[in-house]
Amino acid sequence: MTAETASTRLPATGVPRLARGVRLRHDEARGQWVLLAPERVLQPDPVAVEILKRVDGERSIDAIIDDLIAAFSVERGRVAADVDAFLAGLAEKGMVEVGP
Amino acid sequence: MNEVVNVLARTVAEAAALVPQPLPVPYGMLAELTHRCPLMCPYCSNPVELDRRNAELDTQTWLRVFEEAARLGVLQVHLSGGEPTARRDLEEMIRHCVKVGLYTNLITAGVGVTPERLQAISEAGIDHVQLSFQGATAEVTDHVSNFKGAHERKLAVAGEVRRLGIPLTVNSVVHRANIHQIPDFIELALKLGARRIEIAHAQYYGWALRNRGALMPTRDQVFLALDVVEAARERLKGVLTIDAVVPDYYAKYPKPCMNGWGRQSLNVTPSGKVLPCHAAETIPDLDFWNVREHSLAEIWQASPAFNAFRGTDWMPELCQSCERKEKDWGGCRCQAMAIAGDAAATDPACHKSPLHAHLLALAEADAAAGVVDYDYRRFSTPDRAQ
C-alpha cells in the first residue's frame, strides 16, 4: 500500500459504504474475491479484501480499524494508515462514499 | 487456397482439443435481448440479417441462460440489443441476474424509455447504465441515428439515471461525421454526471463495413483524435474514466480482439446463438450452437465455433513466430475474413500482414471519396413486430 502515513484523509468517525454500482463478491469459479464496478473487475489483495468485507455502510472507519486489530493483532498506527489510504483511493475513484 | 488454410486451421484446433487443457473462464457475457431498435445507426454492431421478434428467446430461456452464465464463472452481464428496453420482461431479467450474483449492466439508446420504466429498472437492481450518444449535439445525433428528437430524449434519460443514483457511462461511436466532436462528447459526459465515457472508433464489420465509405475518417483526423483523448484522460484523472476503442485501419499493430477468441467473453444473440464476438457470424461456415439445444457451459467448452480460433494453435506462421502472439492474439478474425477473405489469416491491421498496405489504401480511398449518404440499419423488409 502507499506510504502516505503522515496524515489521514478521511474522518475516522465517517461511515464508508460501497457506491451504487460497486459490489464485492466471492468468485467461486476462480476461487478469489473480486470488486465489480462499471466495466471493471478488480482483484483486491488479501489486506484489501479484509477491509472491504467490513465496509458495510454501518461501521465507521474507526470501528473497521478496531475490528482488524482484534482479528489480526496488528499495530494500530500501521492499520489506520493502510485503511485510510486504501479507502481514500477508492473514494477518489467514486467507488466508496463516506457518510457522517 | 483460403479454403485449404481454413481446413488446416480447423484440423490443428481439433487435434489440440483432444489434449485436455485448462479452459479459460469467461468474465463477461453480452446478452443481445432483441434486434428491435428505434434508431438506425449505420455502424450498428448487429448483423446485417437481423433477428425478428418471433425468433427471440422467451423469458424462461433467458433466465436459464443467466443462471448458467453465473455458474460458468461469468461476473458481468451486459443487457443489450438492439434496444433492450423493447423487451417487456427486462425488469424480470434484471432481477434474476442480480439474484444469481451477476453484475448487471444496461446498454440502451435511451429513446422511448419513460421515467417510470427507469424507476422500475432501478428497483430491479441494475448496477450500471450505458447510454449511447450518436453525436454531441442534437443535429448530429438525430442525423446519425435517423431519429428526430433522439438527442433531447437521451438527455432526459441521462438526467433520470443520475437522479436515481445509478452510475452512468456515455457511449459514443466516432467516425467522420462526429470525430471532431470528441471534446464535446467529453464535456457532455461531465455535464450529465457520467463517471465514465467510451469513445469507440467505428469498427468495420456488418453495417459499418457496408457504410465504410461514409464513415471512415482521414488519417489526420484519427491521429488528432488519439491525442485529444490522451490529453483529456490525463486532465480528468479521478473525475472521468475514458475508455477508448482504437481505430485499426491506420494502426501498426492489430487490436487484441476480445482479448483472444473464446478467452474472456461470449455473446448470446436474440435467437439464442452463442458467439465468441458480436461480429462472428460474418465468418461463413462457423458452427454456432444455440442455447435452445445446449447449456452455456457445453457451448463454451465444446462448440466448434468457440474452439476454431481459441488459443494460439490456429495461427499462421506469421503470428506463431511473433513475440506479440499472446498480446494481440492475432488481431481480429472477422477483419481477417472481411479483408483477406480468410478468417485464419493474420489481421491485415498488423504491419506484418502482406495486406497491410492494402488496408491502409482502402481507408485512405474511403476517407477521400467523401460519400455522405448512409445505408441505414434496418430489417430487410418491414418487421411486423416494430
Taking only the tens place, the pLDDT of each residue in B30-49 is 999 999 999 999 999 999 99
Task: Tell me if chain A has a CB within 8 Å of the CB of B105.
Answer: yes
Compare CB distances from B25 to A30, A39, A94 and report the shortest one's residue: A30
Residues of B in contact with A19 (CB under 8 A): 167
B240-269 mean pLDDT? 94
Task: Tell me if chain A has a CB within 8 Å of the CB of B127.
Answer: yes
Per domain, the residue ranges of chain A are 3-97
- State the pLDDT confidence band at B383, using cuts at 50, 70 and 90: low
The per-residue pLDDT for B4 is 43
Q: Rounded distance, CA B100 to CA B346, Å? A: 39
| CA-based radius of gyration for chain A | 13
Q: Do B127 and A21 touch (CB under 8 A)?
A: yes
Q: Do B238 and A92 touch (CB under 8 A)?
A: yes
Q: Do A20 and B166 touch (CB under 8 A)?
A: yes
The per-residue pLDDT for A8 is 74
Query: Partners of B31 in the beta sheet?
Result: B79, B268
Task: Tell me if chain B has a CB within 8 Å of the CB of A32.
Answer: no
Size of interface A-B (CB pairs under 8 A): 46
Residues of A in contact with B263 (CB under 8 A): none
Residues of B comprising the binding site? 37, 41, 44
Write down the residue that cell numbers 506484418 correspond to.
Answer: B352
Rounded to a whole number of angstroms, the distance from the CA of A14 to the nearest CA of chain B is 21
Report residue B317 CA to chain centroid gap: 29
Residue A5 pLDDT > 70: no
Q: Rounded distance, CA B353 to CA A58, Å? A: 58
Q: Which residue of B has its CA nearest to A92?
A: B238
Q: Which residue of B has its CA nearest to A39?
A: B76
Residues of B comprising the binding site for [4Fe-4S] cluster? 37, 41, 44
Q: Which residue of B has its CA nearest to A88?
A: B238
Q: Which residue of B has its CA nearest to A89?
A: B238
3-state SS, chain A, equals CCCCCCCCCCCCCCEEEECCCCEEEEECCCCEEEEEECCEEECCCHHHHHHHHCCCCCCCHHHHHHHHHHHHCCCHHHHHHHHHHHHHHHHHCCCEEEEC
SS3 B28: strand
The per-residue pLDDT for B333 is 97
Task: Tell me if chain B has a CB within 8 Å of the CB of A46.
Answer: no
The per-residue pLDDT for B1 is 37
The per-residue pLDDT for B370 is 84
The per-residue pLDDT for A9 is 87
Give the end-to-end CA distance of chain A in Å, rounded to a whole number: 25
Backbone angles phi, psi at A49, to 5 degrees: -60, -45
Q: State what percent of residues in chain B have pLDDT above 70.
A: 93
Where does A3-97 sit in CATH, by number?
A: 1.10.10.1150
Q: Which three cell numbers stand for residue A48?
A: 484489501
- State the pLDDT confidence band at A7, using cuts at 50, 70 and 90: low
* Element counts in chain B: helices (H) and strands (E): 16, 9
Please name which of B297, B307, B298, B271 lies closest in space to residue B70, comparing C-alpha atoms. B297
Compare CB distances from B25 to A19, A29, A39 and report the shortest one's residue: A29
The per-residue pLDDT for A2 is 43
- DSSP E strands in chain B: the ranges are 28-32, 76-80, 103-108, 128-133, 168-174, 196-201, 241-245, 265-268, 274-275
Q: Which residue of B has its CA nearest to A26?
A: B101
B161-175 mean pLDDT? 97
Please name which of B46, B35, B37 lies closest in space to residue B281, comparing C-alpha atoms. B46
Rounded to a whole number of angstroms, the distance from the CA of B179 to the nearest CA of chain A is 23
The per-residue pLDDT for B10 is 47
Q: Rounded distance, CA B250 to CA B350, Å? A: 10
Q: Do A41 and B76 touch (CB under 8 A)?
A: yes
Q: Do A39 and B165 touch (CB under 8 A)?
A: no
Q: State what percent of residues in chain B have pLDDT above 90.
A: 90
Q: Are B344 and B289 in contact (CB under 8 A)?
A: no
Compare CB distances from B103 to A23, A29, A94 and report the shortest one's residue: A23
Q: How many CA atoms lie within 13 A of B319 on its CB side?
A: 28
Q: Do A20 and B127 touch (CB under 8 A)?
A: yes
- DSSP for B222-252 reads HHHHHHHHHHHHHHTTTT-EEEEE---TT-S
Rounded to a whole number of angstroms, the distance from the CA of B91 to the nearest CA of chain A is 17
CB atoms within 10 A of CB A13: 11
| Model ipTM over 0.90 | no
Residue B132 pLDDT > 60: yes
Taking only the tens place, the pLDDT of each residue in B270-307 is 999 999 999 999 999 999 999 999 999 999 999 999 99
Residue A4 pLDDT > 70: no
Residues of B in contact with A27 (CB under 8 A): 73, 75
Q: Which amino acid is at B9?
A: A
The per-residue pLDDT for B14 is 52
Backbone angles phi, psi at B196, to 5 degrees: -150, 145
Q: Do B127 and A38 touch (CB under 8 A)?
A: yes
Taking only the tens place, the pLDDT of each residue in B183-201 is 999 999 999 999 999 999 9
Q: Which amino acid is at B273?
A: K
Q: Do B73 and A27 touch (CB under 8 A)?
A: yes
Taking only the tens place, the pLDDT of each residue in A8-59 is 789 999 999 999 999 999 999 999 999 999 999 999 999 999 999 999 999 9
Q: Which three cell numbers stand for residue B51?
A: 433477428
Q: Do A38 and B75 touch (CB under 8 A)?
A: no
Task: Tell me if chain A has a CB within 8 Å of the CB of B22.
Answer: no
- DSSP for B74-105 reads --EEEEESS-GGGSTTHHHHHHHHHHTT-EEE
